[in-house]
Chain A
Amino acid sequence: MSGAAIRHWRAQRITALVLVPLSLWFVNAVVSHLGQSRGQIQDWLSQPLPTLLMTALVLAVFYHLVLGVRVVIEDYVSDPARRARAIRWTYFAGLALTAISLAAIATLGLGL
């Protein structure tokens, strides 16, 4: 039990640290590609570095997201059955959104 709690705590901090540079890169990238056409965005996201950074961002964001939302659910949903269901749905949504994002990044990265 304590092992899982420590893993949760550590993973939340590691993803937070990773997200500091990644999210600053992302904000800057969005601002510098503002209003560009789909073709221009495709050109940009077909390069190796943006592909790599976007992949890292997506993985860290959704991992950090499910850890954080889980804590909020644990604090505010008192009924055990409802709490377990809410956490399951959060993990499911996080996994689904990660999968779609990675598929999109792969499509863009391979220039398909």
Chain B
Amino acid sequence: MTPAERPLSPHLQIYKPQLTSVLSITHRGTGLALSAGTICLVWWLSGAAWSDQCFAWAQAFWGSWLGLILLLGWTFSLFFHLLNGVRHLLWDWGLGYDLKSAYRTGWTVVAFSLLLTAATFGGGFFAWSHM
């Protein structure tokens, strides 16, 4: 018996990107980025605990352009994952599950992630320049 010609389920290339799906994949992406970032947290803690050399190296790295770009990415990732995580917790609670609310909370998450990232970097540069 030959299998029936069943229609294939629509695939990623067919879907038009929508806020809901983009934010969903971004939640995963930022989670993975933050996971990678924990290695730097361990590096920094280890340096502070055990080694002048290791700490100085970490300190110099964070001040470099590459370090700052990574910090910017991780700061945004943290705020996004945190805020979108709260959105998930509200869904678990049964709140905001309709499409209209999903879009409204989605854009709120995007706006506040950007705002908090900017505020953190603003505060950081201010603290740095007043040392």
Q: How many residues of B contact A (CB 8 A)?
A: 34
Which of A48-98 touch B at CB < 8 Å? 54, 58, 61-62, 65, 68-69, 72, 97
Where the two chains meet, the residues of A that have a C-beta atom closer than 8 Å to any C-beta of B are 13, 16-17, 19-20, 23-24, 27, 31-32, 34-35, 38, 41-42, 45, 54, 58, 61-62, 65, 68-69, 72, 97, 100-101, 103-105, 107-108
11 contacts between A and B (CB under 8 A): A13-B89, A23-B78, A38-B47, A45-B48, A65-B34, A72-B28, A72-B31, A97-B38, A100-B42, A101-B42, A104-B42
Q: Which residues of B contact A72 (CB under 8 A)?
A: 28, 31-32
Q: Which residues of A contact B82 (CB under 8 A)?
A: 19-20, 23-24
Q: Which residues of A contact B35 (CB under 8 A)?
A: 65, 68-69
Where the two chains meet, the residues of B that have a C-beta atom closer than 8 Å to any C-beta of A are 28, 31-32, 34-35, 38-39, 41-42, 45-50, 52, 55-56, 59, 63, 75, 78, 82, 85-86, 88-89, 92, 120, 123-124, 127-128, 131
